[in-house]
Amino acid sequence: MITSISERTWIDDTSAYSESDLIEVSGLSENEIQDLIENELIKLLINEQSEKTFPMQALITASNARRIRDDFELDQNGMVLAVALMRRIAELENEIISLQAKSGWHCL
């Protein structure tokens, strides 16, 4: 019998996370994180000590990016493109929901 031990991290919506936290939790490299930042897929915060920090949403986005990269065996550019397209799809879905709510029209 094999016993597996895993460690869980509680994600706090009000906290800021360091780049090393982001790398450790997501499983992405520093270069991949930088690419997500440059393509405005992850929001970078600068704290009072001029340190790079990231909001909780960045942890979620980076973890999803790593999962997409691994599941579809994508290179770094493919991963960034896939994350960007998924974000755009989510935005469009939210816009459709909003328009349906305003018009009173609902689709099954």
How is the chain split into domains, by residue range?
Answer: 17-103
Tell me if the domain spanning 17-103 has CATH number 3.30.43.10.
no
Question: What pLDDT, on the 0 to 100 scale, is given for residue 24?
Answer: 95
Q: Measured between alpha carbons, how far is 41 from 32 in angstroms, rounded to an integer? A: 11
Q: How far is CA 91 from CA 18, 95, 97, in A?
A: 27, 6, 10
Q: What is the pLDDT of residues 20-41, one digit of tens each?
A: 999 999 999 999 999 999 999 9
Question: What pLDDT, on the 0 to 100 scale, is given for residue 16?
Answer: 86
pTM over 0.95: no
Q: Please give the residue that has the higher pLDDT: either 43 or 104.
A: 43
Mean pLDDT value of segment 54-71: 96
H helices of the chain, in order, are 19-26, 30-38, 56-71, 76-103
- Of 57, 17, 16, 15, give the one whose Cα is nearest residue 36: 57
On average, the pLDDT of the chain sits at 88
Residue 106 neighbours by CB under 8 Å, 6+ apart? 100
